[in-house]
Amino acid sequence: MLITENFINDQRAFFKKEDTLFCKTKKERSMYWEKYSHDEIKRSIFDALKQNGSYDNQTILGLPGTYLDREAFYDDAPFLKDAPFLSALIANPNHIGCHTLSPADSLDVFKGTQSIEIDLIKLCAEEIFAGEKDEQDGYVAPGGTEANIQAQWIYRNYFMKEHNATIDQIALVYSEDSHYSMPKGANLLNLQSIVLSVDENTRTISQSDFENKITVAQKNGVKYFIVVLNLSTTMFGSVDEISPVVNYFKINNIPFKLHIDAAFGGFIYPFTNPNSEFTFRNADITSFTIDGHKMLQSPYGTGIFLIRKGYMKYVCTDEAQYVPGKDYTLCGSRSGANAISVWMILRIHGSSGWKVKMLGLVDKTSRLCSKLNELKIEYFRNPYVNIVAIKSKHVPKKIAEKYHLVADSYEHEPKWYKIVMMPHVKQGAIDSLLNDLATFAG
């Protein structure tokens, strides 16, 4: 059969329509981005690289950077013509700044690949998290840790500038299951932490503990709260409830800003839970962290920060006068190739393909949990996430070491060991683990 461009366009239109119809339940929203062929991806990236300045063919004297060292990374390897990411890596574009703010003011030497990053941020903000068109900013950070600290930095400065808050009047609120980037950020930004207790079995934030600690903080002079809730914690895959926390602040007229740490869950939960409240349609959410190097299988150094328009200005580094458009990020210089890698992965699958992949992982996780139920092994698992945390009393240390299970603590006696159902995990390995657990239980 002859495949014509019209046929391809007709097929895309059909699948877009099917995807939209599939998502039209009462609360469910449509999510769609186009799947590209390998040739389309290759053409897009090489076209973008051609729009960048060339260290080989242009007179570039002022930049403190160049292509990768040619002795170690030669650029005439024949396979590079079919390797857009590696070609971008060797070209070494610097994406310093935040290009969604004003693309015209960014460093124009790298404007071609910057446009790929802008498309990536729009895709994540508007398709995955249902943001309004062109109403979000963001950038590809070195990781989720920076993205979480970026949010803390923005909201600290927001409260200080817009409410004349002093540093001792601002607190960071997060649960005990939150990622260590929360206390790390609090330490860097001189913020006091309010750490919330969670139920041992359900991993749900204790509402009474939350309300008591906020009340005590207010009595001690805290007036403004930076709140971080989790869309899949690192250890348990637990998902914090938004309403109980947000409603308390709103009912009591307490100023707050809400950031969602979706470093792990951001590329799976929106695809497996059609009724997710973790979107920009939720007016109480201002920003998200998502991490490409987890579910997306992109290189390390591909965290993503997303935030509503109007907030990046609070962390503008005015002293960065030599950077067109100035800088708004913690890290400054950033790898353009890393941004390209995330864009490539999302585009090669398309929204429909990615949804199928994530649903497959959740299905495999559910099958594992069914077997654990048969063995009467206690565990925690959010049904929309591919993490299973098993109580340590069911897992002897030898089994944990054999399968490289991760403990909740390496300084104290572990209470939990976790399994993450990633694409490399084969059913045979799971069956072997279950056999060993059954032997121990018997």
Spatial neighbors of 45 by CB under 8 A, at least 6 apart, are 84, 85, 87, 88, 113, 116, 340, 344
Separation CA 42–CA 83 (nearest Å) = 8
Yes or no: say if 141 and 338 are a contact pair by the CB < 8 Å rule.
Answer: no
Determine how many CB atoms are found less than 10 A away from the CB of residue 399. Answer: 17
pLDDT mean for each 10 residues of the chain (442 residues): 37 44 47 96 97 90 90 89 95 94 84 97 98 98 97 98 98 98 98 98 98 98 98 98 98 98 98 97 98 96 97 92 85 96 98 97 97 98 98 98 97 97 97 97 81
Shared domain for 113 and 144, answered yes or no, is: yes
Please indicate, yes or no, if residue 74 is contained in any of the structural domains.
Answer: no
**Size of the chain in residues:** 442
Please indicate, yes or no, if residue 199 is contained in any of the structural domains.
Answer: yes
Supply the range of the domain harboring residue 116: 103-334
Tell me the two tokens of residue 91.
């070209």
Q: Is 134 exposed, middle or buried (CB count within 10 Å of its CB: 0-12, 13-18, 19+)? A: exposed
φ, ψ for residue 61, nearest 5 deg: -110, -20
Shared domain for 192 and 270, answered yes or no, is: yes
Please indicate, yes or no, if residue 91 is contained in any of the structural domains.
Answer: no
Shared domain for 164 and 286, answered yes or no, is: yes
Tell me the two tokens of residue 348.
């090669």
SS3 310: coil
Shared domain for 420 and 313, answered yes or no, is: no
Please indicate, yes or no, if residue 434 is contained in any of the structural domains.
Answer: yes
Q: Is the dihedral of CA 128, 93, 48, 77 positive or negative?
A: negative
Determine how many CB atoms are found less than 10 A away from the CB of residue 173. Answer: 26
CATH label of the domain that carries residue 217 = 3.40.640.10
Q: What separation in angstroms does the CA of 347 have from each of 102, 106, 373?
A: 24, 24, 38
Please give the pLDDT value at position 30: 74
Yes or no: say if 268 and 385 are a contact pair by the CB < 8 Å rule.
Answer: yes
Shared domain for 330 and 356, answered yes or no, is: no
Shared domain for 246 and 325, answered yes or no, is: yes
Shared domain for 301 and 196, answered yes or no, is: yes
CATH label of the domain that carries residue 421 = 3.90.1150.10
- Please count the CA atoms within 13 angstroms of the CA of 433 that sit on its side-chain side: 25
